C-alpha cells in the first residue's frame, strides 16, 4: 500500500509538471504572436526564461529561503535532541547529514530546502520543539528528510520558478496587447481573411494572458499537495510508526498560526500551511487539509 501511494504521487507530480510546461509554452506563444510576430520564437523565449529562473533559484535556494524565514543555523551542542533526530533520520534515509536550522516562532512547523541532498538543510520552529514528543518530532523530521531524499525541494523550486516566468510573460504580453490590436486594425482593411484569423489569435492570446498565471498557480499548489502526501507516506516508511506521524499532524492542526509574515514561496515548503485564515483562502493553500492527510495514513 505504501509503495503504491508513493508511485502514484510521483506519477501525478510528473503529469502536473508536464501541464506546467504546456502553460509556459502557451504563454510564450501569446508573447510571440503579440510582441515578436513569431509564435515559435515566443515559445522558445518562454522556455529560455523559465530555464534561467529555475537555475537561478536552484543555486540560491538554501541561503535565500533560510534568510527569508529568519532561520539561524545551530550545532549539536545547541539543541542535541533535535540535532540527533535529524542525524538519525538522515542515516535511515541514506542521505548526507543536512544542515540544521532553528526559527524563533511559537507556531509549530518545519521545512526543508536545498537543490539536492548534498546541500540540503532542515529547519524547525521553537514551537515545534516545545510541542512535540520524541516520536512526533521523529515523524516530522522524517517528513522533511523524505522531501530531501525524494528531491521534492528541487521540484518545488522549479514550480516556483515556472510560475514566476509565466506571470512575467503574462505581464509582457498584456503590455503589448493593445498596441498589437491597434496595429492589426490598421492593416485589416485590405486583408479581410487574415483579419478574421487575427481576431481569433488575439482572443486566444487574451485568454492566455488572463488565465495562464492563475492556472500556473493552481498547478504549483497541486504539485506541493502531492509532495506532502508522498512525504507523509515516506516518513512512515522511515520511522515505521504511522501513529507518530498521525499524532504529529494532529498537533500541527491544533497549533496556532504563525504571526510572522510568510511569503507564498516559503509557505509551500512548510510541513503545514503556516497561514490560517478564511475558508475561501484555503482553496489556494499549498497543503492538503490535515484531516485528509491523516485519513490517507490510516488507510496504510
- Give residue-wise pLDDT tens across range 29-55: 877 877 777 788 888 888 888 788 777
228 is in an annotated binding site: yes
Q: What is the pLDDT of residue 187?
A: 46
What percent of the chain lies above the pLDDT cut of 90? 30
> Phi/psi of residue 9, each to 5°?
-65, -35
**What CA–CA distance (Å, rounded) separates 119 from 106?**
27
CATH 3.30.2010.10 segments of the chain: 68-152+224-298
Query: CA–CA distance from 167 to each of 209, 211, 265, 279, 298 (Å)?
Result: 9, 10, 14, 25, 39
Tens-digit pLDDT profile for residues 239-289: 998 999 999 999 999 988 887 877 666 777 889 888 765 555 555 566 788
∠ CA 129-277-157, rounded to 5° = 65
Torsion of CA 282, 283, 284, 290, to 10 degrees: 50
Q: What is the pLDDT of residue 189?
A: 46
Torsions phi, psi for 122 (to 5 deg):
-120, 155
- Residue bearing the bigger pLDDT, 238 or 210: 238
Predicted confidence at residue 144, as pLDDT, reads 95
Write phi, then psi, for 123 (nearest 5 degrees). Answer: -140, 145
Which SS3 state, helix, strand or coil, does residue 86 take? helix
Active site residue 63: no
Phi, psi of 145 (to 5 degrees): -65, -35
DSSP for 36-50 reads IS-HHHHHHHHHHHH
Is residue 287 a known part of a binding site?
no
7 pLDDT band (50/70/90 cuts)?
low
C-alpha 217/C-alpha 236 separation (Å) is 29
In the chain, what percentage of residues exceed pLDDT 70?
78
More confident residue, 291 or 220: 291
Q: What is the pLDDT of residues 137-173, one digit of tens each?
A: 999 999 999 999 888 877 777 777 777 777 777 777 7
Q: Which residues contact 270 (CB under 8 A, 6 or more apart)?
A: 109, 110, 111, 262, 286, 287
CA–CA dist 246, 227 (Å, integer): 17
Which single residue is written with the C-alpha cell 549539536? 76
Is pLDDT of 296 > 80?
Answer: yes
87, 144, 237, 273: which one is catalytic? 144
pLDDT at position 4 is 62
pLDDT band (50, 70, 90) for residue 178: low
Can you state the angle between helices 2-31 and 192-239, rounded to 10 degrees? 150
Give the contacts of 274 (CB within 8 A, at least 6 positions apart).
Answer: 107, 109, 257, 258, 260, 262, 266, 267
CATH number of the structural domain 68-152+224-298: 3.30.2010.10
For 112-145, what is each residue's pLDDT tens digit? 988 788 889 999 999 999 999 999 999 999 999 9
Q: Among residues 190, 78, 93, 178, which one has the least CA distance to residue 124?
A: 78
Query: Does residue 204 have a pLDDT over 60?
Result: yes
Amino acid at each position: 500500500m505504501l509503495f503504491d501511494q508513493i508511485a502514484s504521487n510521483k506519477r501525478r507530480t510528473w503529469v502536473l509538471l508536464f501541464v506546467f510546461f504546456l502553460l509556459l509554452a502557451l504563454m510564450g506563444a501569446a508573447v510571440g504572436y503579440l510582441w515578436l510576430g513569431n509564435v515559435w520564437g515566443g515559445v522558445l523565449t518562454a522556455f529560455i526564461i523559465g530555464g534561467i529562473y529555475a537555475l537561478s533559484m536552484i543555486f540560491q535556494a538554501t541561503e535565500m529561503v533560510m534568510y527569508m524565514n529568519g532561520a539561524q543555523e545551530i550545532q549539536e551542542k545547541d539543541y542535541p535532541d533535535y540535532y540527533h533526530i535529524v542525524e538519525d533520520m538522515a542515516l535511515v534515509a541514506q542521505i548526507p547529514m543536512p544542515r540544521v536550522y532553528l526559527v524563533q516562532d511559537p507556531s509549530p512547523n518545519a521545512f526543508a530546502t536545498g537543490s539536492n541532498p548534498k546541500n540540503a538543510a532542515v529547519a524547525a520552529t521553537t514551537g515545534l520543539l516545545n510541542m512535540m514528543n520524541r516520536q512526533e518530532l521523529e515523524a516530522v523530521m522524517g517528513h522533511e528528510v523524505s522531501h530531501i531524499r525524494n528531491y521534492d525541494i528541487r521540484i518545488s523550486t522549479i514550480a516556483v520558478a515556472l510560475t514566476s516566468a509565466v506571470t512575467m510573460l503574462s505581464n509582457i504580453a498584456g503590455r503589448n496587447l493593445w498596441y498589437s490590436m491597434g496595429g492589426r486594425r490598421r492593416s485589416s482593411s485590405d486583408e479581410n481573411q487574415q483579419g478574421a484569423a487575427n481576431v481569433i489569435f488575439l482572443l486566444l492570446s487574451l485568454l492566455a494572458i488572463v488565465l495562464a498565471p492563475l492556472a500556473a498557480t493552481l498547478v504549483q499548489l497541486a504539485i506541493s499537495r502531492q509532495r506532502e502526501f508522498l512525504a507523509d507516506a515516506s516518513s512512515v516508511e522511515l520511522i515505521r510508526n504511522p501513529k507518530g506521524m498521525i499524532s504529529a499532524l494532529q498537533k500541527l492542526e491544533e497549533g496556532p498560526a504563525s504571526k510572522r509574515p510568510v511569503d507564498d514561496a516559503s509557505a509551500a515548503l512548510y510541513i503545514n500551511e503556516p497561514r490560517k485564515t478564511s475558508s475561501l483562502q484555503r482553496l489556494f493553500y499549498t497543503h492538503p487539509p490535515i484531516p485528509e492527510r491523516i485519513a490517507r495514513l490510516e488507510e496504510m
